């Protein structure tokens, strides 16, 4: 298992003990890399493999040389990631691995060779016969009563039963059973092991790892804007009333002034900030004013924004914020 272990495919029992024993600490850089990746894909979900195992593909593609499951669980336990159930995985009760196939088993003698017999009706003729008495003619089947060749729309299945190839017993229902391809253990869902696979999202605590604070967001904005023209931080301008107003960022491009404020909070931005922004725009009418919101607005603040027609950009990732900002300037300069 040592090779596949790196890919996160570990026998589950073993991995669970391993998780408890893990007291190792990961570097901040590694944690930040994982948080950024999870943020990028928004939700890190397990991918099932043909061998019955599973991986966290986006994470494994990064070739971190770490056991993904152990790392993700560590990050969940330490508050960097949120986790929610994603998929139930049925595994072998003996070897605890998921390399299993469904099998059809005779309830009477236990043989694994089962024939299915369907009851088929020739719809127009109302002729009903077991599947085996219809002859196959290319894509069609031939009705034993009237000898017509029927296409799939001309017949229907009324029911089915199952016949054991060993003891010939007819059975109305098949019970789902599974066979482990590693040790040939046969088991029902009742006897198999249920293992929950989880999906992960970025937790609030990770914002700092992503570089999400007001300063870094403002720095990112300045970087984008400096391609457009001369950028000033804490730009002061006298309003109509004679009062001086300070804006977080200002840029002059093609003779036009863009005044920008950044509203950053862990909570949605509320009315007070929007109202303060409106008061400023009122004072500097004629200038282009933009309020950058991170990460969002309360419902009532959104209503105020709409009512006062304040230009806003809302960011949830630095990438999307930068893109929208470029678009905004491009459209208005």
Residue window 78-107: x/- pattern of binding to Zn ion, with contact defined by CB under 5 A: --------------x-xx----------x-
Report, in Å, the least distance between residue 85 CB and Zn ion. Answer: 24
Q: Which of 42, 84, 109, 272 binds Zn ion (CB under 5 A)?
A: 109
Q: How distant, in Å, are the alpha carbons of 131, 141, 145, 157 from that of 119?
A: 6, 13, 14, 6
* Residue 180 within binding range of Zn ion, rule CB under 5 A: yes
How many CB atoms lie under 10 A from the CB of residue 119? 14
* Residue 108 within binding range of Zn ion, rule CB under 5 A: yes
Size of the chain, expressed as the number of residues it contains: 333
Report, in Å, the least distance between residue 192 CB and Zn ion. Answer: 10
CB closer to Zn ion, 36 vs 129: 129
Touching Zn ion, residues 132-171 (CB under 5 A): 143, 145-146, 164, 166-167
Residues touching Zn ion, count (CB under 5 A): 20
Report, in Å, the least distance between residue 98 CB and Zn ion. Answer: 9
Q: Which stretch binds Zn ion (CB under 5 A): 12-20, 36-44, 74-82, 177-185?
A: 177-185
Touching Zn ion, residues 113-132 (CB under 5 A): 122, 125, 127
* Residue 12 within binding range of Zn ion, rule CB under 5 A: no
Strands 288-294 and 311-314: parallel
Contacting residues toward Zn ion, per CB under 5 A? 92, 94-95, 106, 108-109, 111, 122, 125, 127, 143, 145-146, 164, 166-167, 180, 182-183, 185
């Amino acid at each position: 298992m040592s090779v596949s272990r790196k890919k996160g495919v570990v026998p589950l029992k073993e991995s669970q003990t391993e998780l408890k024993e893990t007291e190792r600490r990961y570097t901040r850089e590694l944690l930040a890399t994982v948080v950024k990746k999870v943020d990028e894909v928004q939700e890190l979900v397990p991918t099932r493999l043909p061998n019955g195992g599973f991986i966290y593909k986006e994470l494994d593609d990064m070739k971190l040389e770490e056991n993904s499951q152990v790392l993700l669980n560590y990050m969940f336990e330490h508050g960097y990631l949120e986790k929610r159930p994603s998929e139930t995985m049925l595994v072998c009760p003996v070897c605890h691995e998921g390399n299993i196939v469904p099998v059809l088993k005779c309830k009477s003698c236990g043989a694994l060779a089962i024939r299915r017999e369907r009851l088929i009706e020739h719809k127009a003729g109302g002729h009903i016969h077991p599947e085996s008495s219809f002859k196959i003619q290319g894509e069609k089947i031939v009705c034993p009563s009237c000898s017509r060749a029927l296409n799939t729309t001309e017949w229907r299945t009324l029911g089915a039963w199952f016949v054991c190839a060993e003891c010939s017993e007819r059975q109305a229902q098949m019970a789902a059973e599974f066979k482990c391809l590693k040790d040939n253990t046969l088991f029902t869902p009742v006897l198999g092991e249920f293992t929950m696979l989880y999906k992960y999202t970025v937790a609030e605590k990770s914002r700092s790892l992503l570089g999400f604070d007001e300063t870094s967001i403002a720095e990112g904005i300045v970087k984008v804007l400096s391609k457009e023209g001369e950028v000033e931080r804490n730009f002061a301008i006298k309003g109509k009333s004679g009062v001086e107003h300070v804006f977080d960022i200002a840029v002059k491009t093609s003779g036009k002034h863009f005044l920008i404020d950044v509203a950053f909070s862990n909570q949605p931005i509320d009315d007070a900030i929007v109202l303060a922004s409106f008061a400023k725009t009122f004072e500097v009418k004629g200038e282009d004013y933009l309020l950058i919101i991170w990460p969002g607005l309360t419902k009532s603040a959104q209503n105020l924004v709409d009512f006062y027609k304040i230009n806003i950009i809302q960011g949830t990732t630095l990438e999307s914020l930068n893109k929208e900002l470029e678009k905004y300037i491009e459209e208005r300069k």
